[in-house]
Structure formats: structure tokens, C-alpha cells
Structure 1
């Protein structure tokens, strides 16, 4: 990995922490208060990275020392206030007001927009968290999705976001198949090919009943799986309403099927991309290979 790639990856981590703060700041007031800690931590990580880049020794720096040693940094007074709010929360137990939270969000966003381009010659908004995703196929779909969104190909963008999420669930389970030949996140067999038509049912009422049961079971399987993996189900509901239905063919390919009209705006597309990235990072926090835990008898038999 080149120095440029390392810097971009570290900037992506900083942006991820900033995005956590952004999400927290939109929650109820008691939760939103802690966004100030995330904002402060993301800025401090940026300052450490910048000091390394400029070969400035920063081991004994206080937060505001960076502005003295690196005079080209902007928004010193805004950051002084952010630091004071952080001290109030962490060391005094004083929660900020809604206005303080809003100011912290705006000031942090302005800080990154001004200083990332100034010192690293890259737009903060262009830094992609996709590079933090470790699942290869998921990353491929996400890159296509983001590139399609950037070129205003909304349909292709949303389809690839949907495919990325479906592949993510498959990728996470793939190396967790135990001796019963199922993953611990198995909640029933795939019913994609069990429609009334494929089963040759001609009676109209029976056909409708079979398809309704199939659809209900598929929805429950997906919901239980999402929640068992620790993915935010309320955010998933919005994602699921926006994205096409994904089916898996007999050959193992994932195909998007669109039902009904969707309000596919750029904002909704970006939401879907961000949701898949966030879900990927959550799963990466705790991943394991089943072979690290048990001896697989079915593999020994081959």
C-alpha cells in the first residue's frame, strides 16, 4: 500500500467517525449530546494525521496547540468552543443544548470542508468509506453504485446498492456453515422457486394462498436475519422500501427485480449506499471463520 493509499484510508476512518457523530446529532437530545464527543475525536484524529504529514511532533500537544504549530488550520475559535463543550460533557457531566449540538455539527462540517482540501488537496465530500469495506464483491457493487450515482444513472445505482446488501449477507454467512451444513443465521430454506406457478397449482384460491404464505415467510426470514446480525432494522425498512427485490438464480447469481414505482432521488440513492457501508462495517467489527472454532466433518469427508 502506497503512502497516498494509507492517507486516504485514514481519512476514510476519520470521515466514518464524523458520520457517526452526524447520525448521533439527529437523535433524541440525550443521545445527540454525545455527537460532540464523536466530532471532537474525528477532528483530533485529523490533527494527528496532519501533524505526521508535516513532520510536527505532537505527542505532548493540547487540542489547541495544533493551531499554534500549524497556522494554516482554520476555525480555531469554533474548535475552542467545541473543545469546551466536550470538556463539559466528559469531565463535568453538563449536557449541551440543542443549539450547541447544531453549532458543533455545522462547525465540524466546515472544519473538514476547509482543512481537508487545504492540506490534503482532496474534497472532504469525495472521500469514500467504501474503501473500508473488506468484502470484495460487496465493495465492487458499492463502487458501481457510487459511480452510477455520480453519473446520474439512478436506476443502476440503486440496483447495485441492493445487490451489495444481498451479497453482504451471503458473504458474512459463507464461512460460518457448521457440521449441519447450515449457517448459525439460517432461518429456513430459500423459497424463491416455490411459487404456486412453479408448483403447478391451478386452483386460483389455493394459488393465491400459497404465494401469500411464501411472501410472508420470506419477509420474516429476512427480518429475523437482519436483526440477528445486529443491523439497524428501522434503517433497513427504509432501505428495503427503496430497493428492488433480489432473487438468487439456480446458478447462484443475484438478480434485481423491480416492483412498483419508487421515488429514486439522489438523496435516497446515497442513503442506500451509506446503509450498506454502515452494515458492512458493523459486521466487520465481529467476524469469524467457523473453522477457527470447530472441525468440519463434511470437509474431511471430501
Structure 2
């Protein structure tokens, strides 16, 4: 049941990923070609900015950390912008003036860019310095203002410097696993066409594939991330009760309905073990369980048939309609999980004497 949604309206914060190339003449600037390395760094900047957006919505005082994340994302962007434009920026001096003045065409010449949002970034820098150097926690209003300033900064300046919209930066380029990257690309494509449910289903498949690949045993040894084998062909509670039920000449001292009671306890225990197994796997891989739980709550259930030629089935609750922020969160969650799993997997190799 792939629900079709109308075109997405603009949102106040960073929009969800849209794979789109700017049209000729859309941005009236002279931009240099973007190298794959630059695009990858832009993808990291966008991922960092989205992490800041999510941090900024946490309850106080946890939201305070978003100020540092926002400033890091802006600073990385300005460094990359100066390198991309071939402009030398001095190491010393006031942060905002150092970049805004030296990148400006008045000083850099025709290859320079008049960056937007100077006042907002100065405001963010003041908040960051106060927080970092004097431990002054930013108030809720300051965090909301910073979120707005950073959103406007990226939306205005990415086209000016790089010739593409900020929401056109494809974060899936960061994902090292090719199959996962393909599924994320499919998710973005479906979401762009308005098929939000289908897009979310692709995200489920991408994450499940990541988790399965990272917990499968090696040819030489089991993995420390599996915590036991997967329980596939599970008997229903009724089937278990029939297996346990005694013949007619059963002991008269057996408890009444003992088989059905024991079957229920067994199924409940099995379900607990399966849930604990997944939690242990996520924890061992370094994936935040609370983020996983939100991802699980926001995504549909995807049933994969044993026959690979049969279509998958997508089950959703009544009224299922995740918004832009929820899709963006789920996309970022899978990307972050892919990067974390790739890091962990570097340690999962056979000992030197077996290689």
C-alpha cells in the first residue's frame, strides 16, 4: 500500500534530501566544478547540520550541545568554501570577518562570493564562545534562533558557492556499503516522487540488511555481535501447546490447562529473548538504542517473501503519514548506522596467524 503524497511544502528547518541538479542559469554565479572529494565533504557537513537540528529539539540542557554542532558545521562549510573557490584565508583574526571579508569579491576579486547571513553567524559564534569558554548554557530562545540562522545560512550560501541547493547534497555518498547505498538512493527517489511509504520501506530494508550483514558469522569464527542465532521458524502458541499436551492417561496431578499456560510462558520468553538479542546487537555495534526505537516507530513493517520473485508487502498502521522531519531523521539514522558499522567492521578480521 504505497500511499501517494502531494508535493512536499517548504519547511522552516533543513529540508529532507532531494536528489536534484540545478537548472542552467538557476544560480547566477561562476562556480567551479565540484570534485567527488568536495561532494563527500559537503555530504558530511549536511549530515552534521542535521544532527544539530535534532540536538536542538532535545529537552534542556541537552539541547545546548546543538550550538557547538551548528558552529562546527558552519566552520567546516566556510573552510571548504574557501578551498573550493581557491581563496586563501588567514589563520588568525575574528572568525566571521576572517571568512566573510576575505571571500567577498571586494577582496577576492571576481572569483569571490558575497556570503549571506553574516549577522546570524556572528550571533551563533557569540553563543558558541560564551558556552564553550565560560560554560554559560544558552537559553531556549537562543537555540531556536541559532537553528533558524544556520538553516538560512546553508540555504542561501550553498547555491552561491557550489551552484547547487543545500537539499541537493546527496548524503548517501557517505555510505561505504554499496547495497545499502543503493537502497537509500531508492528511498530518496521514491520520496521525491511523493511515495513516502515506499521510501520508508526502503529505509527499513537498508537498515535490516546492514544489521544482518554485521551480525552474520564469519567463515572462520562466529561474530561477537550476533548474541546467538536468529530464530526464524517460530511455532505459534497453539502449536506449542499441542506439542506439550499430555495423552489421555496423563497424570491426574498435572495442573489444569498446564500445556497452554506453559506454551504462553514459552512464547513470551522467546519474544523477550529476541528483543534482548536485537538490543544487545545494536549496543555492541554502538548504535543508539533510543534512536533505533524512534526509527522503528516511524517506519512500516516490511514482509519479505521466501520467494525472491514475489513482491514485498508493506504494512502500516491506520493514518500512517510521516512528515518531512521524520523521513529526514530516518534517513540520517540509517546513514549514521552505516558509518558506525563500517568503523566497527574494520576490527572484525581474522587474526594475523590465520590470514
TM-score range, shorter chain: 0.7 to 0.9
Mapped contact 1:134–1:284 kept (Cα < 8 A): yes
Mapped contact 1:135–1:171 kept (Cα < 8 A): no
More helix by share: 1
Are 1:288 and 2:328 an aligned pair? Answer: no
Mapped contact 1:246–1:254 kept (Cα < 8 A): no
Mapped contact 1:227–1:233 kept (Cα < 8 A): yes
Mapped contact 2:67–2:143 kept (Cα < 8 A): yes
Q: CA deviation at 1:247?
A: 6.5
Residues 1:270 and 1:91: Cα distance change in structure 2 (over 3 Å) = closer
Query: 233, 238, 246: which is aligned to 2:294?
Result: 238
Mapped contact 1:82–1:104 kept (Cα < 8 A): yes
Are 1:185 and 2:216 an aligned pair? Answer: no
Partner of 1:20: 51
Query: 167, 190, 215: which is aligned to 1:173?
Result: 215
Q: CA deviation at 1:241?
A: 2.8
Residues 1:191 and 1:209: Cα distance change in structure 2 (over 3 Å) = same
Q: List runs of 5+ in structure 2 lacking aligned partners.
A: 1-32, 105-113, 244-258
Residues 1:137 and 1:61: Cα distance change in structure 2 (over 3 Å) = same
| Runs of 4+ in structure 1 over 6 Å off | 206-209, 247-255
Structure 1 or 2, whichever has the larger Rg, is 2
TM-score by length of 1: 0.83
Partner of 2:137: 95
Q: CA deviation at 1:56?
A: 1.0
TM-score by length of 2: 0.72
Residues 1:97 and 1:154: Cα distance change in structure 2 (over 3 Å) = closer
CA RMSD of aligned residues (A): 3.2
Written as runs of structure 1 = structure 2, the 5 A alignment for 1:146-295 is 146-174=188-216, 177=218, 179=220, 181-196=221-236, 205=260, 212-245=268-301, 258-259=314-315, 261=317, 263-267=320-324, 268-293=326-351, 295=353
Mapped contact 1:226–1:233 kept (Cα < 8 A): yes
Count of residue pairs the alignment pairs up: 294
Q: List runs of 5+ in structure 1 lacking aligned partners.
A: none
